[in-house]
Amino acid sequence: MSIQLRHTLRQALATSDRPLFGGWITTGSPVVAEIMAGSGLDWVMIDMEHAPNGLESVLAQLYSVSSYRVTPVVRVPASETVIIKQVLDLGAQTILVPMVSTVEQAREVAEAALYPPRGRRGVGSALARSARWNRVDDYLNNSADHVSVFVQIETAEGVDNAVAIAQTAGIDGIFVGPSDLAASMGLLGQQNHPDVVAAVKDTFVRVASTGKPVGVNAFDPQHADAYVKDGADFLLVGADAALLARGSEALADRYIDSSPQPASVSY
């Protein structure tokens, strides 16, 4: 018996003739993950860095999106070898690693996702969903074909090192995080500040020179459109929690704030 695995984000980007648009899943809910997966978006990011997710909830969300055409990405909470191994063993085929600012950090991330002799990933595929419990032919020797690794540039130092980070063997692409980039530039909470936008565009140019894909987080439609024109290959354009918050607020504005309030009753 042989099982074929789904495509990675690397493969999805390589075969697309347009930028790929994704949604951020932060609620930790498999139901919400499935709703997002069925929306028509190209990819979804199951987040472990800023969301209440552990291994069990990530696994449940990977199951819930697996029947849809969407490409799932799991963002691990940190560039730690054990966490990367565990998330890959869950069957995540694309991981995103935050806060990578140097070549040394990028190299450590890449090695954590590769089996020896190329890397340090622990061998447990016979017991793991990653190889579908040894139902994927020759998974150990071909695992690099089934896994893609993207890293986030989120600091001014990372922008300076963007070319070398992107060129690191085993790194498939770069994702820019404007919020933390703004913080590192002394502009906390100002991810749309002109200096931050300029740094994002600078990163695009640097990464594009290496031939690797580059993406960005951009919830504001105007900024998302501008980043597409500036060369973004993939974007996060919304998050489940934000969509629910803004949508429920719109309901309240429509049906409560603008409606006459009932008179209070005295007894």
How high is the pLDDT of residue 262? Answer: 59
Task: Give the mean pLDDT of 158-181.
Answer: 98
> From CA 128, how far away is CA 29, in angstroms rounded?
22
The rounded percent of the chain whose pLDDT value lies above 90 is 93
50 noted as active-site residue: yes
Of all helices (H) and strands (E), which one includes residue 26? none
Q: What is the pLDDT of residue 252?
A: 94
- For residues 121-139, b (16+ Cβ closer than 10 Å) or e, as one string? beeebeebebbbeeebeeb
Query: Among residues 7, 50, 146, 223, which one is catalytic?
Result: 50
Question: Could you tell me if 42 and 50 are in contact, meaning their C-beta atoms sit under 8 angstroms apart?
Answer: no
- pLDDT of 125: 87
What is the distance, to the nearest Å, from the Cα of residue 72 to the centroid of all Cα atoms in its chain? 8
Give the residue-averaged pLDDT of 142-153.
96
Question: Which pLDDT tens digit goes with each residue over 223-265?
Answer: 999 999 999 999 999 999 999 999 999 999 999 966 555 555 5
pLDDT of residue 206: 98
Which ranges of the chain does DSSP label H, i.e. alpha helix?
Answer: 9-14, 30-37, 55-65, 81-89, 103-112, 139-146, 156-160, 162-167, 178-184, 194-208, 221-229, 240-252
DSSP 67: T
pLDDT at 98 over 70: yes
pTM above 0.85, yes or no: yes
pLDDT of residue 264: 58
- Does residue 1 surpass a pLDDT of 80? no
- CATH code of domain 9-240: 3.20.20.60
Average pLDDT of the segment spanning 3-20:
95
**pLDDT, averaged across the chain:** 95
% pLDDT > 70, the chain:
96
191-212 pLDDT per residue, tens: 999 999 999 999 999 999 999 9
203 and 156 Cβ atoms separated by less than 8 Å: no
- Could you report the per-residue pLDDT of 39-74, keeping only the tens digit for each? 999 999 999 999 999 999 999 999 999 999 999 999
- Over the stretch 99-125, which tens digit does the pLDDT of each residue have? 999 999 999 999 999 999 999 999 998
Asked if residues 44 and 73 have their Cβ atoms less than 8 Å apart, the reply is yes
Using pLDDT thresholds of 50, 70 and 90, give the confidence band for residue 174: very high
Pair of tokens at residue 97: 């690693």
